[in-house]
Homo-oligomer: A and B are copies of this chain.
Amino acid sequence: MQAKRQTMPTPTPFAAPARNCPDMTLEPLKVACASCNLRELCLPVGLNVHDLSRLDGLVAKRRTVQRGDHLFRNGERFEALYAVRTGFFKTCVNSEDGRDQVTGFQMAGELLGLDGISSDHHHCDAVALEDSSVCVIPYSQLEELSREFTVLQHQFHKIMSREIVRDHGVMLLLGNMRAEERLAAFLLNLTQRLQARGFSASSVVLRMTREEIGSYLGLKLETVSRTFSKFQEEGVLDVKQRQITVLDLQALQGLVSNAAC
């Protein structure tokens, strides 16, 4: 069902701003958390500069993933976590009978692969929605280092817990909200995360299709499209294909918090 992706221009880089690092290559590359702009959003939160330098052995490799390619697949052996450095991903689970559910979208600084720890095998697919690069974090080394660094250990636990809390939020969305509320919640979440990365909170270029949004939100693509159109008519959004501008933030916020009315 998933169609082959076309390459598309990327008018507004969605992920991280240009940083003071050398160009990435396909080869393993020395990466320093200490000099990474994302360290305040990523795994090393809380570590001081000295401790950070000791992480260099942990996050030693980078990997690039072309738009449409898999970072890992359901069933593959789990070896490492991945921190998104640049780009954008989706993760999705598939049921025996071939149904697909997007379980999340990941942007710079976010971790991929946590599901794999449970059984040493990945339980979902991770697909790049644009050309991306990730830091490879070998899991055994992470466990080892987190026995040494209390702060790292705690931060890692926090990240896993945060994922659980996020998932529960999605369950609330899927179980209780109507289409408009779901889309509003989705857009608010997206803009907030982008804002935390230094981007505009009112202007977004979506990296995913209507179908992928729909899969994440438990809706069909037509419903997503119709709801976008409705928001446009009401003056809440300006929608030009994947270029979304929030015109009435309060209206969006009202939809998710007063939704019971």
On A, residues with C-beta under 8 Å from B are 93, 95-101, 103, 114-119, 123-124, 143, 146-148, 150, 153-154, 157-158, 160-165, 167-172, 174-176, 215-218, 256-261
Contacts and interface: CB of A to CB of B under 8 A. Distances in A.
Q: How many copies of this kind of chain does the complex include?
A: 2
Q: Report which residue of A161, A169, A257 has the largest number of chain B beta carbons within 10 angstroms of its beta carbon.
A: A161
Nearest to A98: B260
A181 B78 CA distance: 30
Contact of A101 (B118, B143, B176, B259): B176
B172 A118 contact: no
Q: Report which residue of A101, A150, A171 has the largest number of chain B beta carbons within 10 angstroms of its beta carbon.
A: A171
Q: Is the interface of A mostly helix, strand, loop or mixed?
A: helix
A148 B256 CA distance: 45
16 contacts: A93-B171, A95-B176, A95-B257, A97-B260, A101-B168, A101-B171, A101-B175, A115-B161, A117-B160, A118-B164, A119-B165, A123-B168, A124-B168, A143-B157, A164-B164, A170-B171
A8 B104 CA distance: 41
Contacts of A147: 146-148, 150, 153
Q: Report which residue of A97, A100, A172, A217 has the largest number of chain B beta carbons within 10 angstroms of its beta carbon.
A: A172
Contacts of A163: 164
Contact of A157 (B160, B174, B217, B256): B160
6 tightest A-B contacts by CB? A117-B161, A175-B218, A167-B167, A174-B174, A118-B161, A101-B172
A124 to B, nearest CB: 6
A169 B260 CA distance: 26
Q: Report which residue of A146, A167, A215 has the largest number of chain B beta carbons within 10 angstroms of its beta carbon.
A: A167
A98 B259 CA distance: 9
